[in-house]
Chains A and B, each alone.
Chain A
């Protein structure tokens, strides 16, 4: 093996096996040796079932077959997230994987919608969005491929069993030369001036040495947080939920091609339909509700029989101050955690992997520009998501103690002023990198009751009658197109039926 660059991945959860699979696909085995250490005794978190459309890019990047992947993970399709009771009790809206409307004139569609909405002549924003209209009827199709067709203007993601996904990637990666090492790490050896990690030692006495370590050890953050002492930047003053109860239930009739998030007294509840069951959970602030009451609330709000007892998970919102320190990169829960309100964790793993592959050192002495860049871009990713999550929290009725507190917090600088700008003219900054472009902000703002008082003046150029006519035509086209789409359940049964587990 001698000259090969030795990469050691610590942890075999979703993060560890995604990273291993990417290495198997993209690193030259004559120059890189990749090993993954995991402990069956410790196990994985195993929740993490809702994803973003970027996951399809990741699977394509590996070269996975979509049908096989969906069958192996009991996956269903996802066109967005429905938010219930967010804003105020009884409200509902969908944050879709797609944009609103399509070009009408010189201004962007949203500006025309604001104008017509102010004049009382517009339908709800969601009526101009094909993935929302389709999703709410529990229908699904793949994008049509014709760029003139409204049925092409969306992306989709998956709901999947994260445990099965990790298992699937494991066999895929092992078949391509990744070496798996079973065992519990009991000690970490460091050397060098920077305190580089030299090796991890297992309970069995085995020593696994490497040039570069990827810490995918979960919340423990064994190497990055533990050995290297990289602290968590604590964001819990903005995002106070610190616990979750998770429980699977029997698949119900309501086989939604979307995730559902329902705001509750002390947090919110998720509902994620898979082929073989429905995943549910209550994310809450332990200061505002007891574990028992949270579990009872969750169990009282399932639409199918519970298949297990609720399981408690504890966490803290934040990210490690550096994703890459010395010769160690933390990803997944070892790198940070943001609650699953926008299904962003697996996406963050994916981004860390993509950046790591491109910035992979070629020799044990690491060029400092490489970690500097990875840390910079991961900070951008985390900050964007954090601000977008905070937005969901602050735009609510203060109808319970938790909601009284979060609606009155001091905002991060990067978020302050955004709400006022949106109210003034529907302004959303379009930034270069990171998640959540203008349509996402528009969906959440409008969905949670923050509406612009005016629109871009260029939207006033067309006569009102023309704008109204184009809006009506578009809504009708979308409604007709949606009616032609098969049901989500039928589509799955035909396209990628998974065997009973």
Chain B
């Protein structure tokens, strides 16, 4: 391959740069590709934590990162889902667990039968038929060899961001990736491509492909390529509170009058993110509001601006921007790591054949734009569906425009409990169902094929499923047992 990409430079710091360098090196070093990481030294923000969706577990296998190392190095705990509290006004809460929303039967998704039963007066919530949700709430996790429900239970992680970045960096070092300091580096663009980066020590680094996890490289090539995306909150306070005991298997996202608060359970602390709209809550009042919402003292930093920029064309010339350089991920539902991982996987898949032309950029930009749109929709649904009626922040959030795709998803679920799926979906249907039902959307009608099941048979099946959920939960292990097992 005379025109193959031989030299790759990754520019940036923190999780995104390390993960990209590691993934690219593991895939292509075998072909003689040389990977240099120009470390800008930018570290995760103090107190920051990451919500890793279940997909990351698979990705970790490709990266060669094992569970024991994660637990030891990043205060990791098991993530079975997120609980949303007070999004509908009262104290109510629901759990978006990573699992099946009930078990399909009579060849139809469970939601169809559930809708029918709700119309006939059933009071049981959809999540009560979800093994992952029931287990998480009762502090149980793990997979079963023999399961009565036969339901999927998927697990992600909660990670301390700084610890995770250190862990990835160590893995880069073990993979013999050369890491150089990017302090004082000067970027040299030339005719739509990047020529080289001059390091302060005098070394001139040229590469066939630059991966930008910082934003400086892509900004040099495409200064007008970033656009502001509308966001609901403009301020964020990060902090830490004492760890929960026992450790919960899910995080919590609590709505408050001027924004939301996320609690991420880690092994040694509970990471807090308090987001708000500074027009409704002054910075001076914010820490008081935070303490009041959480009900105890929090070791918190000062407010920082919460940005929401988007970069529709992350690959320009020979620079691929990913992680924060590609735009600010939606702030909930583990969007940050999900998008990072999908971007890296897509880059490996579309690894350029010809370093001089790289027409892969167009394919990549199309794929990533689609993925961003769908991931963004998933988080946008919470704001669209909130039922905190009469509160200015939440009324505006409900009225804010959403993509046509999300609008049709919500319309169709509300009408029929079905899913309008599009290309690039990153969340499974059952996740959408648990969230929409959790926010109080009960479909107005159901698939008439459900009527072929007789009322009595339906009730018997519901009871069977609830019993199966209970017995499966009973057979699962506790969070502490699971962590101990994985620690080895």
Contacts of B1 in A (CB 8 A): 454, 457, 460
- Contact yes or no, A461 B31, CB < 8 A: yes
- CB-contacts of B332-347 with A (<8 A): none
Residues of B within 8 A of A457 (CB): 1, 4, 28, 31, 351, 353
**Which B residues touch A361, using CB under 8 A?**
445
Which of A91-99, A420-428, A483-491 lies at the interface? A420-428
Binding site for A on B (CB under 8 A): 1, 4, 27-28, 30-31, 348-351, 353-354, 359-360, 362-363, 408, 411-412, 414-416, 418, 420-425, 444-445, 447-449, 451-452
B408 pairs with A28, CB closer than 8 A: no
10 additional contacts (CB under 8 A) given A372-B412, A373-B416: A27-B449, A28-B451, A31-B451, A362-B448, A370-B416, A372-B411, A376-B420, A424-B359, A432-B422, A456-B349
Q: Which of B353, B415, B451 interacts with A370 by CB under 8 Å?
A: B415
Q: Which of A28, A32, A420, A431 contacts B359 (CB 8 A)?
A: A420
A372–B232 Cα distance when bound, in Å, is 30
| Of the residues B351, B416, B422, B448, contact of A456 by C-beta under 8 Å | B351
Pick the 5 closest A-B CB pairs, nearest first.
A369-B415, A28-B451, A369-B411, A454-B353, A367-B415
- Within the assembled complex, what's the spacing in Å between the Cα atoms of A367 and B411? 10
Residue of B nearest to A5 (CB): B448
Closest B residue, CB atoms, query A372: B408
A357 touches B449 (CB 8 A): yes
* 5 A-B residue pairs with CB within 8 Å: A26-B449, A360-B448, A362-B445, A367-B415, A457-B351
Whole-angstrom distance from the CB of B478 to the nearest CB of chain A?
Answer: 37
Interface string of A458-491 (1 = CB under 8 A from B): 1011000000000000000000000000000000
Using a CB–CB distance below 8 Å, which chain A residues touch chain B?
26-28, 31-32, 357-362, 367-370, 372-373, 376, 417, 420-421, 424-425, 427, 429, 431-433, 453-454, 456-458, 460-461
In the assembled complex, the CB of A56 is this many whole angstroms from the nearest CB of chain B, namely 16
B1's nearest neighbour on chain A, judged by CB, is A460
**A-B contact count, CB below 8 Å?**
89
Of A32, A362, A368, most B-chain CB atoms within 10 Å: A362
CB-defined contacts of A372 to chain B, threshold 8 Å? 408, 411-412
Chain B residue, CB-CB nearest to A430: B423
- How far apart sit A433 and B429, CA to CA, in the bound complex (Å)? 14
Q: Which residues of A contact B27 (CB under 8 A)?
A: 458
* Residues of B close to A420: CB separation below 8 A: 359
**How far apart sit A328 and B115, CA to CA, in the bound complex (Å)?**
26
Query: Which residues of A are found within 8 Å of B448, using beta-carbon distances?
Result: 26-28, 31-32, 357, 360, 362
Question: CA–CA, A429 to B354, complex, Å?
Answer: 20
Closest A residue to B451 by beta carbon equals A28
Q: Say yes or no: A460 contacts B31, CB within 8 Å.
A: yes
Cβ of B414: which chain A residues have Cβ within 8 Å of it? 369
With A and B bound together, what is the CA distance between A457 and B360 in angstroms? 13
Query: Do A421 and B359 touch across chains, with their CB atoms under 8 A apart?
Result: yes
Closest to B415 in A: A369
Task: Contact check, B353 vs A417: say whether CB atoms are below 8 A apart.
Answer: no
Closest CB in chain B relative to A467 CB, distance in Å: 14
A421 to B408: give the CA distance in the assembly, Å: 31
CA distance A431 to B418 in the complex (A): 20
| Contact, CB under 8 Å: B425 / A432 | yes
Distance of A137 Cα from B361 Cα, bound (Å): 44
- Beyond A432-B425, A457-B31, whether A421 also contacts B415 by CB under 8 A is no
Residues on the B chain within 8 Å of A453, using CB: 353
A26 to B418 alpha-carbon distance, docked (Å) = 18
Taking CB as reference atom, which chain B residue is nearest A453? B353
Contact B447 A360 (CB under 8 A): yes
A431 near B423 with CB under 8 A, answer yes
Contacts of B422 in A (CB 8 A): 432
Given contacts A369-B412, A370-B416, is CB(A424)–CB(B351) below 8 Å? no
With both beta carbons as reference points, the residue of chain B lying nearest to A425 in the complex is identified as B353
Closest chain-B Cβ to A104's Cβ sits at a distance in Å of 16
CA distance A27 to B452 in the complex (A): 7
- Chain A hits for B349, CB < 8 A: 456
Query: For B452, what are the chain A residues with a Cβ–Cβ distance below 8 Å?
Result: 26, 28
Question: Closest approach, in angstroms, between the C-beta of B449 and any C-beta of chain A?
Answer: 5
A211–B22 alpha-carbon span in the complex (Å): 61
Residues of chain B with a CB closer than 8 A to A461's CB: 30-31
CA distance A81 to B471 in the complex (A): 51
- Bound-state CA distance A55–B363 (Å) is 34
Of all chain B residues, the one with the shortest Cβ separation from A361 is B445
Contact call A376/B408, Cβ cutoff below 8 A: yes
Specify which chain B residues have a CB less than 8 angstroms from the CB of A357 in the assembled complex: 447-449
Contact B351 A369 (CB under 8 A): no
Closest Cβ–Cβ distance, residue B480 to chain A (whole Å): 37
A28–B448 Cα distance when bound, in Å, is: 8
Chain B residue nearest in CB terms to A434 = B423
Q: Are A432 and B408 in contact (CB under 8 A)?
A: no
Residues of A near B415 (CB, < 8 A) are 367, 369-370
Q: Give Cα distance in the complex from A357 to B415, angstroms.
A: 15
Bound form: Cα–Cα A417–B359 in Å: 11
Cβ–Cβ < 8 Å partners of A427 in chain B: 350, 363
- Closest chain-A Cβ to B402's Cβ sits at a distance in Å of 15
- Cα A458 to Cα B448 with chains together (Å): 48
Q: Given the complex of chains A and B, what is the CA–CA distance between A484 and B481 in angstroms?
A: 54
A26 to B350, CA, bound (A): 44
How far apart are the CA atoms of A360 and B418 in the complex, in Å? 12
Interface centre among B359, B425, B444 (most CB of A within 10 A): B359
Known: A417-B362, A424-B353, A460-B31. A432 touches B421 (CB 8 A): yes
**Nearest residue, chain A, Cβ from B410:** A369
> What's the least CB distance linking B145 to chain A, in Å?
21
Cα-based distance from A369 to B420 in the complex (angstroms): 10
Closest chain A residue to B446 by CB distance?
A362
Tell me the bound Cα distance from A109 to B360 in angstroms: 20
What separation, in Å, do the CA atoms of A370 and B418 have in the docked complex? 10
* Among B28, B416, B420, B447, contact of A367 (Cβ-Cβ < 8 Å): B416
Question: In the assembly, what is the distance between CA of A13 and CA of B136, in Å?
Answer: 54
Q: Is the CB of A421 within 8 A of B363?
A: yes
| A456, B418: Cα distance in complex, Å | 37
Taking the nearest CB of chain B, how far is it from the CB of A214, in angstroms?
14
Task: Give Cα A453 to B416, complex, Å.
Answer: 47
A419 to chain B, nearest CB (A): 12
Q: Which residues of A contact B445 (CB under 8 A)?
A: 361-362, 367
Q: Which residues of B are found within 8 Å of A431, using beta-carbon distances?
A: 423
Shortest distance from the beta carbon of A106 to any chain B beta carbon, whole Å: 8
Q: Report the minimal beta-carbon distance from B470 to chain A, rounded to whole angstroms.
A: 31
Q: Which residues of B contact A433 (CB under 8 A)?
A: 421
Given contacts A427-B363, A457-B28, A358 and B418 within 8 Å (CB-CB): yes
